[in-house]
Structure 1
């Protein structure tokens, strides 16, 4: 028994070590992720609060008000012409506070935001008692209302990428695709069939989660359910097609897992799932636009929280549609039936 166990263990180890692509990726992926996270989140400690400031110079001059010297708060300058848009961002948890030092000095916080409450107390302690609190228009939005579209989008992302990219690689490695190649089925037909199947499953699961969470929590929904369904469908299609690009040429599950992790983690961190990218480095905001999840979450939030219509979310819909077609075209072009 021990001899058989050792023989099987040795065989599995040699199988992995001889797969140079998987071995190299498993060594390279952690280094790339650590380097990327160090670039994004490195430097001084991350701020706990995000505050937009009007009338304190650009960049913000700390001596313009004692509150601007508060540690662990990120202050960035904002033109006075963008005040109304910034007030709306405060109401949607994209900003923790808006501070306007132009006469008459005012500030805005979301009454449903714990961070806004803390910042308001810090502002008053720093000599801001003379500042008038401004009213955030509309019904206050809870953080869970802001978070829910991101959580639903993130769940769709994992289901799309892993449910297609990983499964098709397993089909290829097991020889199923090789046998399927002996039939009249063409690559584009196989891809579209897999896409349709995964889309139906994902949309059904997402609908069940949406209805269940709404029944338990009662989240905010200001826009059209039909438009939200269209946004979710195009978002799912784009990420399924992205998974197919990986599945089109990868021959081992280990390598597929590494590449899918390399795609999913940056999307989860930079697509606004957990926090807004407002005020972050411009190059980070531009990088986030490359990911389908960014456009899906942004469009869904606009529909659910702001009641956005078709004209408002057309850029996101078009971007997701173009991404879907591009990924499908690339996947169909490089698709391989066989592992060799």
Structure 2
């Protein structure tokens, strides 16, 4: 006669899961996710060169454009100076670069260190692993984003008129481009990853209205303004008061890109590396 099987919460395996058991398993799942996030952040800050390099693109852009263009006329009527026009685009581009590269390299390091194989043998689900990785990249990119925002406000008189809209633009941008980073990292190596990412994100930056109004491109600009980075630039411009109010289409597209990117990245990750 075999001994009865029990779940981790002590209830018999044959019994229907109790509400208390479900709460116990959810609390355990959250604890596992938080432990993985803490490990991710500790590794990030232990690598001083990598953590500092994530700040360089946006910080150097703010310093260069702020010093050189603060007195130049804006190319669009909604912004006071050229720097006021370009600053929201720098915020959006910084989120794009930071999130794509940070989470992508994290996934590649996980593969090189066989963390993924450990995951398959651990109680943590794939959803928990990906939630932890997305949460980690949100925290890491928030530090870069906050540094650039504070620098623009303190040194070059930038302003945030709508904190909720800025937060929406930040979160949706992070999730959209973190999803891109996970997707590319799932199918690439440490050597090919930056080349593939650059092929995607650099043209996006040039044709997202960061440096010039997309209206200058005619009908091509009408197409470009619906790209992922473009809608985040529009949201940041509205949030900083340097452009018209954010359209409902831009908000819907930003949220849609974020959800779609996370869903596609999770599916590809599971198909490529997971059990399925």
TM-score, structure 2 as length reference: 0.65
Question: More deviation in 156-165 or 316-325?
Answer: 316-325
Superposed counterparts of 1:185-204, under 5 Å: 185-204=124-143
Unmatched tracts of structure 2, length 5 or more: 1-70
Match of 1:230 among 163, 168, 177: 168
Q: Does the CA-based 8 Å contact 2:80-2:242 persist in structure 1?
A: no
Larger Rg: 1
Bigger fraction of residues in helix: 2
Do structure 1's residue 113 and structure 2's residue 80 form an aligned pair?
Answer: no
Residue-by-residue CA offset, 1:101-149 (whole Å, 9 max, x unaligned): xxxxxxxxxx952889xxxxxxxxxxxxxxxxxxx7x9x7011111111
Residue 301 of structure 1 is matched in structure 2 by 237
| Counterpart-to-counterpart distance in 2, 1:332 and 1:112 | 44
Q: CA deviation at 1:195?
A: 0.4
Q: 1: distance between equivalents of 2:239 and 2:89?
A: 13
Structural mapping, 1:302-317, within 5 Å = 302-306=238-242, 312-317=246-251
Q: 1:248 — aligned with what?
A: 186
| Residue of structure 1 aligned with 2:106, choices 154, 162, 167 | 167
Cα displacement (A) at 1:288: 4.9
Q: Deviations over 1:48-71 (max 9, x none)?
A: xxxxxxxxxxxxxxxxxxxxxxxx
Structure 2 residue aligned with 1:154: 93
For 1:308 and 1:283, how far apart are their aligned partners in 2? 20
Is 1:210 the counterpart of 2:146? The answer is no
> How big is each residue's C-alpha offset from its partner over 1:12-51, in whole Å with a ceiling of 9 and x where there is no partner?
xxxxxxxxxxxxxxxxxxxxxxxxxxxxxxxxxxxxxxxx
Q: Secondary structure at the match of 1:323?
A: helix
Number of the residue aligned with 2:120: 181
Quote the residue 2:260 is aligned against.
326
* Unpaired runs of at least 5, structure 1: 1-110, 117-135
CA distance in 2, matches of 1:297, 1:115: 15
Q: CA deviation at 1:162?
A: 0.3
- Cα distance in 1 between the residues matched to 2:244 and 2:120: 46
Greater relative contact order: 1 or 2 (C-alpha under 8 angstroms, separation 6 or more)? 2
> How many residue pairs align between the two structures?
202
Give the match's secondary structure for 1:305: coil
3-state SS of paired residue (2:217)? coil
8 Å CA contact 1:112–1:141 kept in 2: the answer is: no
Task: Evaluate the alpha carbon distance shift between residue 278 and residue 226 of structure 1 in structure 2; reply closer, same or farther with a 3 A threshold.
Answer: same
Query: C-alpha distance in 2, partners of 1:313/1:270?
Result: 19
CA RMSD in angstroms, aligned pairs only: 2.6
CA distance in 1, matches of 2:266, 2:187: 10
- Give the TM-score of the pair, scaled to structure 1: 0.54
Distance 2:197 2:216 in 1: 28
Matched, 1:266 2:203: yes
Provide the residue aligned with 2:83 in structure 1.
144
Is the contact made by 2:75 and 2:82 (CA closer than 8 Å) also made in structure 1? Answer: no
